[in-house]
Amino acid sequence: MTPAARLQAAADILDQLSGTRATAEAVLKQWGQNNRYAGSKDRRAIADRVYRCTRARSRLLWAMQKTEKSTGQGRALVLASLALIDGAPLDEIETLFSGAGYGPKPLTDEEKSQISAADGDAPLWVKTGLPEFVVGRFQQQFGDDWAAEATDLMTPRAPIDLRVNGARTARDEMLKVLGEEGLSPQPTPFSRFGIRLPSEPPPNLVKLSAYQQGLIEIQDEGSQLAAFLAGAGLLPGASKVVDFCAGGGGKTLALAQMMDGKGEIYACDVVEKRLRAIEPRLQRAGASAHFVHFFDPEDETQLELLRGADLVLVDAPCSGSGTWRRHPEEAHRLNEAEVERLHGLQTHILSRAASCVKPGGRLVYVTCSVLDDENAATADVFEAQNPAFDALPIHSLARMASLFVDNTARLTELSAGHRLRLTPHTTSTDGFFIAAYTRTS
C-alpha cells in the first residue's frame, strides 16, 4: 500500500470506530481480515496512525473545528495528526492528499486554513485528552497532580504485564526464558509474580511456548495486586472464595494461584458466555477445574448457594477509565449519565455480594476506574448502609499477602486506611481502586 492509501484506511477505520462500541483492536483486526492485500507493515502503520489519532482525539477534533457529533471525523483526525503531531509541512500533506490511487481526496481551502492555524489556546479538556466532563473531577480528586495524572492516563503506550503462574514456575525462570526469546522482560515492582515487557515492538505472546503451557498470563500488575491483596488462601481455615464478577476470569486465575489447589472458587457473572471462557484458561494454567463452580448472582436460588463465603471479591463493572491508556477510544464514549448508572449498579452488586460473606469473612471491592464516583462514592454508600462491615486496612492486607506482594511500604503510603487507588502516574499500573472490609456479625 502507498503511504497515502494507508492514511485513507486509517481514516475509514477511525470513522468505523466512532459508530461502534467495539475496541480499536477489534476493528483493526476485522479490517485486516477484510483487506488481505495489506501486509504486516501496512497494518502496523495503519494501527499506529489510528492509535495516534485516538489518543489525541480531543485536541485534533478541536483544531479541525469538529465535535464528537460531526461527520468526516476520520479524515479530520488523520489530517490534523499529520500537521499537529508529526509536524508535516503543508506541501507534504498536499502530496499525500492528492486523490491519486487509493489515497485521500485533495484538501479543501477550509482544511488548509485549519491545519495552518496555530494550535491556539485550547481548553483544558482538549489539552489533556480527557473527556470534557472528567477534567473537573480530576482537578478535585488529584489536586496539583491532576494534569500529570491525566497525561499518564491518556498519552503513552502502556507496557505489557504478565503474571507468572507461581504454581508451575518461578519468576526468575520466566525472566530468563523471555530474555532468550529476544524480549526485554523486567520484574514489576509490586507483584512478586509480575513481569513487564515494553509494548514496542509488540511481542506475539500467545505464540510463546511459556504462554501455551500456562506458565504466564497477560495481566496488568494492578489487576494482579487487586487479586493478591484480597488474600484468597491466606485466611486461616478459609475455603469458600466467591469471585462475584468473574468475567473472563483474569482474577479468578490469580485467586486460584494463591489457593494452590485448596478450597473452592465460585466464579459468578451475569453473562454466562464470559464465564465459559474461564475453563480453557484454568486448564492451561493447570488449576484443577473441578473446584471452580459457575453462578449467576442475580438468580436468588444461586445467590443462596454462595452464602457463608470466607472471601467475596467484587471486581465490579465500571467505566474502565483506569485502562484508557490501553483503550483510548473508550474515553470518548463515556458520559456522566453512564457513570451515574455504573455507580448505581455497583452499589446494588456490592450489597448482594455482602450478603454472601460469613461473619468473620472478608469483602473486597475493586474497580478499574479512576473516577471517585465509582470508587470512594460507591464505598461511602456501602459503608453507610452496612454497619456490620468494618474497614480492613490495606497495610494489613499487604502484610498478610507478603509472599505475593512486594514494596508494601509504598502501597501503605498510597492507601487511605482501607482504600487504595493505583494509577499509571503513581504506580505505573492501570488505574484501580481497592477497598476491603471484614464482616463483624
Which residues form the interface with ligand SAM (CB under 6 A)? 223, 244-251, 268-271, 274, 297-298, 315, 317, 349
- Read off the DSSP letter of residue 410: H
* Interstrand relation of 194-197 and 186-187 (parallel, antiparallel or unpaired): antiparallel
* Nearer CB in complex with ligand SAM: 251/419: 251
- Read off the DSSP letter of residue 85: I
- For residues 277 and 59, give the distance between their C-alpha atoms in angstroms, rounded to a whole number: 38
Residue 166 Cβ vs ligand SAM, minimum distance, rounded to whole Å: 17
**Which grid coordinates are listed for 233?**
488462601
Q: What angle separates helix 24-34 from helix 3-18, to the nearest 10 degrees? A: 130
Residue 53 annotated as catalytic: no
Could you tell me if 126 and 58 are in contact, meaning their C-beta atoms sit under 8 angstroms apart?
yes
Identify the residue whose cell numbers are 519468576. 171
Identify the residue whose cell numbers are 504506580. 427
Angle 91-92-96 from CA coordinates, rounded to 5°:
115
Could you tell me if 50 and 18 are in contact, meaning their C-beta atoms sit under 8 angstroms apart?
no
* Nearer CB in complex with ligand SAM: 251/418: 251
- In angstroms, the Cα distances linking 186 to 169, 173, 212, 315, 346 are 16, 12, 21, 27, 35
β-sheet bridge partners, residue 242: 266, 312
Helix (H, G, I), strand (E, B) or coil at 434: strand
* Nearer CB in complex with ligand SAM: 352/410: 352
* Nearer CB in complex with ligand SAM: 315/372: 315
* Nearer CB in complex with ligand SAM: 88/270: 270
Residue 338: other Cβ atoms inside 10 A: 11
**Which grid coordinates are listed for 154?**
491518556
- For residues 304 and 245, give the distance between their C-alpha atoms in angstroms, rounded to a whole number: 16
**Is residue 315 annotated as involved in ligand binding?**
yes
* Interstrand relation of 292-295 and 240-243 (parallel, antiparallel or unpaired): unpaired
β-sheet bridge partners, residue 182: none
Could you tell me if 348 and 385 are in contact, meaning their C-beta atoms sit under 8 angstroms apart?
no
- For residues 356 and 363, give the distance between their C-alpha atoms in angstroms, rounded to a whole number: 9
**Which grid coordinates are listed for 202?**
509488540
- For residues 100 and 106, give the distance between their C-alpha atoms in angstroms, rounded to a whole number: 9
Query: 53, 245, 318, 368: which one is catalytic?
Result: 368
Identify the residue whose cell numbers are 500533506. 93
**Is residue 220 annotated as involved in ligand binding?**
no
- For residues 29 and 86, give the distance between their C-alpha atoms in angstroms, rounded to a whole number: 25
Residues of the binding site:
269, 296, 315
Residues recognised as catalytic: 368
Residues of the binding site for S-adenosyl-L-methionine:
269, 296, 315
